[in-house]
Amino acid sequence: MTKQQDLQTAASSFQSFLEDLHSKYKSLRDGSVANYIPELAKVNPDLFSICIATVNGDIYKVGDYNQLFTIQSISKVFVYGLALEDHGRDYLLTKVGVEPTGDAFNAIILDEKSKRPYNPMVNAGAIATTSLIKGSSATERLNRMLDMFQRYTGHNMFVDISVFTSERITGHRNRAMAHLMLNFGMIDQHLDESLDLYFQQCSVMVNCYDLAVMAATLANKGINPFTKKTAVDSRYIKDILSVMYTCGMYNFAGEWAYKVGIPAKSGVSGGIIAVVPNLMGIGVFSPLLDFRSNSVRGVKVCEELSQQFGLHLFDCSHNKLNFCS
């Protein structure tokens, strides 16, 4: 067999593996969909997709990968990257820490001493991060954010207005966090505008295919493997992946790091992205959530992928998948 044929065989057995994985977990009905706003509560709980994009520009997809949903907290990863580009690492560290909290994502807490939110992957830290996005008007800030998302996905991005409106009307905890941070001078007076931008970033529409491509862009030093365009300055990849690794899966982040061992981020609409540096980006979508608000099937799929292919960053006993490098 030629090398080309070898690669094709490996690729098709990987696709079959993903199809089997999808059928295995399709019957898992544990968990419940987010219900804090009607738009999320009415989602079909059976939706389920797995996509993997490699840094070489190959994509593997199974299930409902065209289904659109709001990105929710997964947006925090990418907005953090934009804020790093806007202000640099040192300034950002004065405004948002990099410590995991061990608390729920929407806990109303700040670091006792520094008054910073703990990290950019929980709501308080994300609101502070979003408030730092540069632009001369609210419209310009939103457009810069949408352009940034577009660099990761390779196509135009839009906000779901009804989700945005619901988030905005019901987001009292987020508003409380913003006021607490305003009290301590951690965010500025334009609090309502920053909150609107935060609710808009949560309401950006993506599908599972997009998630995989966005994750693959992070795996590929910030360059979208399909468009070949730079989405984020490569010097910030290690900052982004570090906080994803330690803080991305809410108060499950430690167990995730231990078991799955790759940087990841989840959102309440049921998405998870996971990044295997220099190899691939994983996107999973399934709206049934566990009590920590991580997708039940999403966690299972990532655990199994990691075990099967030795993706844990500290696993040296395994040869990583050879057909994508």
Closer Cβ to ligand GLN, 56 or 165, answer by number = 165
Give the residue numbers annotated as catalytic, written as ranges. Answer: 73, 76, 198, 250, 268
CB atoms under 10 Å from CB of 260, counted, come to 24
Is residue 39 a contact residue for ligand GLN (CB under 6 A)?
A: no
Is residue 204 a contact residue for ligand GLN (CB under 6 A)?
A: no
Is residue 164 a contact residue for ligand GLN (CB under 6 A)?
A: no
Number of residues that bind ligand GLN (CB under 6 A): 11
Closer Cβ to ligand GLN, 54 or 246, answer by number = 246
Which residues lie across from 50 on neighbouring strands?
Answer: 62, 284
Closer Cβ to ligand GLN, 240 or 289, answer by number = 289
Closer Cβ to ligand GLN, 207 or 220, answer by number = 207
Is residue 167 a contact residue for ligand GLN (CB under 6 A)?
A: yes
Phi then psi for residue 151, to 5 deg, are -65, -35
CB atoms under 10 Å from CB of 94, counted, come to 11
When binding is defined by CB under 6 A, the residue of 54, 101, 106, 153 that contacts ligand GLN is: 106
Helical H runs in the chain?
3-26, 38-41, 75-87, 89-95, 123-130, 138-153, 161-170, 172-183, 191-202, 208-219, 237-247, 253-259, 296-309
Residue in the block written with tokens 């570090």: 242
Q: What share of the chain is helix, strand, coil (3-state, %, to 5)?
A: 50, 10, 40
Minimum Å gap between C-beta 6 and ligand GLN is: 41
Two structure tokens written together for 299: 């966690």
Minimum Å gap between C-beta 106 and ligand GLN is: 5
Cβ atoms of 51 and 209 closer than 8 Å: yes
CA dist., res. 263 & res. 214, Å (int): 13
Minimum Å gap between C-beta 243 and ligand GLN is: 15
Report the residue closest to ligand GLN, judged by CB.
73
CA-wise closest residue to 276 among 229, 226, 315: 315
Is residue 295 a contact residue for ligand GLN (CB under 6 A)?
A: no
CA-wise closest residue to 59 among 174, 210, 164, 171: 210
When binding is defined by CB under 6 A, the residue of 267, 281, 283, 298 that contacts ligand GLN is: 267
Is residue 202 a contact residue for ligand GLN (CB under 6 A)?
A: yes
To the nearest 10 degrees (0 to 180), the angle between helices 161-170 and 191-202 is 130
Closer Cβ to ligand GLN, 163 or 321, answer by number = 163
Is residue 105 a contact residue for ligand GLN (CB under 6 A)?
A: yes
Q: Which residues bind ligand GLN (CB under 6 A)?
A: 72-73, 105-106, 123, 167, 174, 202, 267-268, 293
